[in-house]
Structure 1
Amino acid sequence: MSAASFPGHCNVTSYPPSPLPALAPGGGGRIQWPHELRLKVNIHSHRRIISRHSPPCASSSSATTGVVKDSTPLEVAEIKERCRKWQWRGYTINYLAYEAEGREDETRNNPPLLLVHGFGASIAHWRRNIVALSQSQTIYAIDLLGFGASDKPIGFAYTMEEWAQLILDFLEEIIQRPTVLVGNSVGSLACVIAASDSRSSLVRGLVLLNCSGGMNNKAIVDDWRIKLLLPLLWFIDFLLKQKGVASFLFERVKKRESLRDILLSVYGNKDSVDEDLVEIIREPANDEGALDAFVSIVTGPPGPNPVQLMPRITLPVLVLWGDQDPFTPIDGPVGKYFSSLPSQIPNVSLFMLEGVGHCPHDDRPELVHEKLLPWLANLPTS
Structure 2
Amino acid sequence: MASTSSCSFTLSSFKTPIPNSQTRTKYPSLTPSIISISTQNSLFSSFSSSGRRVFSCLDTDPVAETIGSSSSEVEVRIGKWKWRDYSIRYQYSGDSGPALVLVHGFGANSTFDTVIFLNSDHWRKNVPFLAKSHRVYSIDLIGYGYSDKPNPSEFGVNSFYTFETWGAQLNDFCNDVVKGEAFFICNSIGGLIGLQAAVMEPRICKGIFLLNISLRMLHITKQPWYGRPFIRSFQSLLRNTAVGKFFFKSVATPQSVRNILCQCYHDTSQVTDELVEKILLPGLEPGAVDVFLEFICYSGGPLPEELLSQVKCPVVIGWGDKDPWEPIELGRAYGNFSVVEEFIVLQDVGHCPQDEAPHLVNPLVEKFVARHASAKDNASMTTV
Category of TM-score, reference length = shorter chain: 0.7 to 0.9
| CA–CA separation in structure 2 for the residues paired with 1:219 and 1:267 | 27
Q: CA deviation at 1:239?
A: 1.7
Question: Which of residues 56, 73, 76 is equivalent to 2:69?
Answer: 56
- The question of whether the paired residues in 2 share the 8 Å contact of 1:24 and 1:30 is answered with no
Q: CA deviation at 1:266?
A: 0.6
Equivalences for residues 290-309 of structure 1 within 5 A = 290-309=288-307
After superposition, the C-alpha distances for 1:228-268 in whole angstroms (9 at most, x for unaligned) are 75454333212202521111111111011111101100111
- The question of whether the paired residues in 2 share the 8 Å contact of 1:205 and 1:317 is answered with yes
Letter in 2 for 1:237: Q
| CA–CA separation in structure 1 for the residues paired with 2:274 and 2:203 | 37
Question: Which of residues 134, 138, 146 is equivalent to 1:141?
Answer: 138
- The question of whether the paired residues in 1 share the 8 Å contact of 2:88 and 2:147 is answered with yes
2:372 is equivalent to residue 379 of structure 1? yes
- The question of whether the paired residues in 1 share the 8 Å contact of 2:2 and 2:257 is answered with no
Percent same amino acid among aligned pairs?
A: 32
Equivalences for residues 17-28 of structure 1 within 5 A = 23-24=1-2
- The question of whether the paired residues in 1 share the 8 Å contact of 2:93 and 2:137 is answered with yes
Distance 1:301 1:230, change over 3 A: closer
Equivalences for residues 86-101 of structure 1 within 5 A = 86-99=81-94
- The question of whether the paired residues in 2 share the 8 Å contact of 1:339 and 1:350 is answered with yes
2:175 is equivalent to residue 172 of structure 1? yes
Question: Which of residues 339, 348, 355 is equivalent to 1:355?
Answer: 348
Distance 1:242 1:147, change over 3 A: closer
Q: CA deviation at 1:217?
A: 1.0
* SS of match in other structure, 2:309: helix
Equivalences for residues 1-382 of structure 1 within 5 A = 23-24=1-2, 55-58=68-71, 82-99=77-94, 104=95, 108=96, 110-119=97-106, 120-154=117-151, 155=153, 157-197=160-200, 199-214=201-216, 217-218=218-219, 220-221=221-222, 230-332=228-330, 335-341=331-337, 345=338, 347-381=340-374
* Match of residue 42 from structure 1: none
- The question of whether the paired residues in 2 share the 8 Å contact of 1:205 and 1:316 is answered with yes
Q: Which runs of 5 or more residues in structure 1 are unaligned?
A: 1-22, 34-48, 60-71
Q: CA deviation at 1:331?
A: 2.7
Q: CA deviation at 1:84?
A: 1.2
- The question of whether the paired residues in 2 share the 8 Å contact of 1:51 and 1:98 is answered with no
* SS of match in other structure, 1:83: strand
**TM-score normalised per structure 2:** 0.73
Q: CA deviation at 1:358?
A: 0.9
- The question of whether the paired residues in 2 share the 8 Å contact of 1:321 and 1:351 is answered with yes
Distance 1:189 1:355, change over 3 A: same
**TM-score normalised per structure 1:** 0.73
Counting matched residue pairs gives 308
* SS of match in other structure, 2:372: coil
After superposition, the C-alpha distances for 1:274-294 in whole angstroms (9 at most, x for unaligned) are 111111121011111101101
| CA–CA separation in structure 2 for the residues paired with 1:276 and 1:232 | 38
| CA–CA separation in structure 2 for the residues paired with 1:306 and 1:228 | 24
- The question of whether the paired residues in 2 share the 8 Å contact of 1:31 and 1:252 is answered with no
* SS of match in other structure, 1:217: coil
Answer 1 or 2: which has greater strand percent.
Answer: 2
* SS of match in other structure, 1:378: helix
| CA–CA separation in structure 2 for the residues paired with 1:54 and 1:245 | 41
Q: CA deviation at 1:93?
A: 0.6
Q: CA deviation at 1:311?
A: 2.4
Distance 1:219 1:142, change over 3 A: farther
* SS of match in other structure, 1:93: strand
- The question of whether the paired residues in 2 share the 8 Å contact of 1:189 and 1:213 is answered with no
Q: Which runs of 5 or more residues in structure 2 are unaligned?
A: 11-61, 107-116, 376-384
| CA–CA separation in structure 2 for the residues paired with 1:178 and 1:167 | 11
* Match of residue 64 from structure 1: none
